[in-house]
Amino acid sequence: MTKTVSSIKQIIKHIRDLILLSASSLFDKAWYIQNYPDVKQAGINSLLHYYRYGGFEGRDPSPKFNSRWYLDNYPDVSLSGINPLIHYIRFGVREGRFPNPQTIDQIDILRASDLFNETWFLHHYPQVKKANMDPLRYYLEYGVVELLDPGPNFSTRNYLLDYPDIKEAGINPLFHYLKFGRSEGRVLSKEAWKIQINPFKQNKLRSLCHNIVVDHQSISTSIQPISIQKARAKKYYCNYPKRTNQKKISKQITFFFTEMSEFQALQPVAWMANLHGFKTSFSDDLNNAAEIGVYVQHHLVNPNANLSIIMLHDIGQYAWPECPSFEPNHWTDEPWHFFDIGVLPGRAWSQCWYSVSDSPNANPRLGVFELGWPKADPPYNQPKMFIKDVNRLLARLHIKDLPSVLYAPSWENDGKLDDFIKSLIHLPINLLIKQASWPDGNNRRRIREIINTSQKLYNGNIYFIDPDINIMSCLAISDVLVSDESNCLVEALLFDVPGIAVSDWQIPAISNWDPPLAPRLPDPPKSAIRTTRYGLGNTVEEVLKNRNKLRPTIRQYRDHYFSHIGISSELVVSVIESAITGSYWPVEPLLPRKGYNIN
C-alpha cells in the first residue's frame, strides 16, 4: 500500500513538472526538435525527452536556457537529480540564479541604464512583488510576454512594433536597444517620449543654438581649403594607389570601437561618409578586415585595413599637449607609422606633433592632417538633431530652474562623488552626475552600486545621468563642469562651460595597462580652473558668479584645442576620398621637421 501511494505521488509530481515545463517560455518544442533531430527520429515526445534525458545530457530547451552551463555552475543542482530547467523555474529564479551566462551581461547593462526604473516598475506592476522576484529579473523573464515597460521612457510594445525583427529574434527589447539598437541608429518610439521642456532650459537651448550658428559662421568662414594650384605647386597630392600598387579601394568604411565614447566620437564621420556615398559599418572586433578602417584606440598596431586612418582616443591621451617637448611623447608609446593617415584635433596637438615629427613613429605613410575633432560637429552641422537629443535628456531628468553643475570624472574612486555632493548640496543649484561609460561589466556594476548608494544617502536636486549618454548633450545643459582630468574638461570649452579640476582627487592604478600605471594625482589641461576637494564649494560659487568674465579666456582655449569646428567630419571624409582616388588633398598636410621625408 505504501509503495502504491509513493508511486502515485511520484506520477503526480512528474505530471506537475511536465505542465510547468510546457507552460514555460523557456521550453520551445519546435526549436528543440529542430536542433535535436535524433529525438524526432526516436519517436519520443520532445517535452518528455527533455524532462527525462535532455536536461541531464546538457541539451538546451531553447536559446534562453543553457542546461550544461546551469548544471556546471550550480553543482548542487546536479547532485539533487532535478531537471535543470525545473530547478530554475521552481527555485533558481527566487534564489537569484541565472539561466545562462548572457543573462548576467544583460542584467549588468540594464542595471547601468536609467531606462530601467525599479521604483516605477514596482509601482505599475504589482504582480512583480507577488512573484517575490528581483524586478530586473522579472522584466527580463516576462517583460516581452506581458509587454511590460521598464520605465516611463521606454515602450516595450512600441519598440517591438517598430522593429519586428527584434520580436522574431526573441531578444529583450530594452537590452537590444542598449547593446545594439542605439549604435545601429534605431530610435525609441515617439510615443515613449513625453517631452515637457522646462521653459528656463528651453530658453537656454535657444540661446545655445543661436550662439552655435553664429560661431559656426565665424569659424567656417576663416577656414579655406587649399587651392589646386597651391597643392600642385607644393606637391600636396596623394600618390597612395600608385606607390603601393594596390587595386582601387572601394568606398566601404568600417569604424572600429570598443566602448561607447569611441562610438560617439566616430558617429559624426560615419554620418558624413554616408552623405558622400560611402557604405559604412561599425565593428567592435579590431581584428576584422576592412577596406577602409578608421580607428581611435590606444596601443593599436598593424590595422587590418587596405587604407587605415588613426585618430586620438581623446584629447588628453597620456599628457595634455601643453608642453611640446614632453617625453616619452605620445607617438613613442602609441606609434602611428602602422597607419596610412593620422588626424589631429587642433593647433595644440599639431604643435606637439611637430616637435617630435622627425621620429618615424610619429609619421603615418601618407601624412598627418589637422582636421579637427569630429565629435564636436553635431551641434554645428546637425543642430536640430542635437537639440532634439538635448531635449530628450531634459525630459528624462526634469531638472529645476537653477544653475546646473555637472560632475563627470575620468575615474570614480577616492570618495570623489561624496566630495562633490557634500561640497555643493547646500547651494541652490542642480547637481548632475555623469559617470564614464565603462565597457567592462565589473566597472559598470561598481558604478551602478555607487549610484544606488548615493541615491539612498542624499536628498536634493541630484540627477544621475545614464553613463552611455553622449557627454556633449550633458555639457549643453550645464553651467559649470567639475572633474579630475577628464577629456570633457576640454570639450566643455565648446559650450562656453568653465571646467574645474580637483587637483587632489587621486587617479587609481591601472594594472591591466602595458606597462602598469601607478596611482597618481590628476594632470588636468591648462584651461581648467584648479581647486582642492576642500575648496570645491567656494570655487564653484565664484565661477558661477563670474561666468561671463571667463568667456573670452574659454574661447581662446577653445580655438587652441579645436580646429575646423563644425566641418571636421567633412574634412576627414574628403581626405579619405583624396586618398582612394589619388587626387589632391583638400587641406594641407602637416609637414615634419627638417630631417624627415615622409615620401
Question: What average pLDDT does range 345-369 have in this prediction?
Answer: 90
Question: pLDDT per residue over 543-591, tens digit each?
Answer: 998 988 899 999 999 999 999 998 999 999 999 999 998 888 888 899 8
Angle ∠(66,259,311) on CA atoms, nearest 5: 145
Q: Where are the domain boundaries for CATH 3.40.50.12580 in the chain?
A: 379-561
Question: pLDDT per residue over 192-248, tens digit each?
Answer: 333 333 333 444 444 454 444 444 444 333 334 444 444 444 445 555 544 444 568
Label each residue of 231-276 as H, E or C: HHHHCCECCHHHHHCCCCCCCEEEEECCCHHHHHHHHHHHHHHHHC
Task: Give, in order, the Cα–Cα distances in Å from 96 to each of 127, 133, 536.
Answer: 18, 8, 42
More confident residue, 56 or 126: 56
Q: Would you state the pLDDT for residue 5? A: 54
Distance CA 338, CA 301 (A): 6
Distance CA 314, CA 561 (A): 12
CA nearest neighbour of 107 among 333, 441, 334: 441
More confident residue, 365 or 106: 365
Q: Would you state the pLDDT for residue 199? A: 36
325 confidence band (pLDDT: 50, 70, 90): very low
**Which one of 3.20.10.10, 3.30.2350.10, 3.30.390.50, 3.40.50.12580 gives the CATH number of domain 379-561?**
3.40.50.12580
Does the N-terminal peptide bond of residue 360 adopt cis geometry, omega within 30 degrees of 0? no
CA nearest neighbour of 159 among 192, 132, 117: 192
Q: Would you state the pLDDT for residue 441? A: 59
Q: What is the pTM of this model?
A: 0.63
Question: pLDDT per residue over 468-485, tens digit each?
Answer: 889 999 999 999 999 988
Q: What is the mean pLDDT of the chain?
A: 81
Distance CA 104, CA 70 (A): 13
Q: Which three cell numbers stand for residue 188?
A: 525609441
Is the pLDDT score of 130 beyond 70?
yes
Q: Which CATH class is domain 236-377+566-581?
A: alpha beta
Question: pLDDT per residue over 245-264, tens digit each?
Answer: 456 899 999 999 988 888 88
DSSP string for residues in 495-531: GT--EEEETTSPBPPBTTSSS-B--B-----TTSEEE
Q: Would you state the pLDDT for residue 147? A: 80
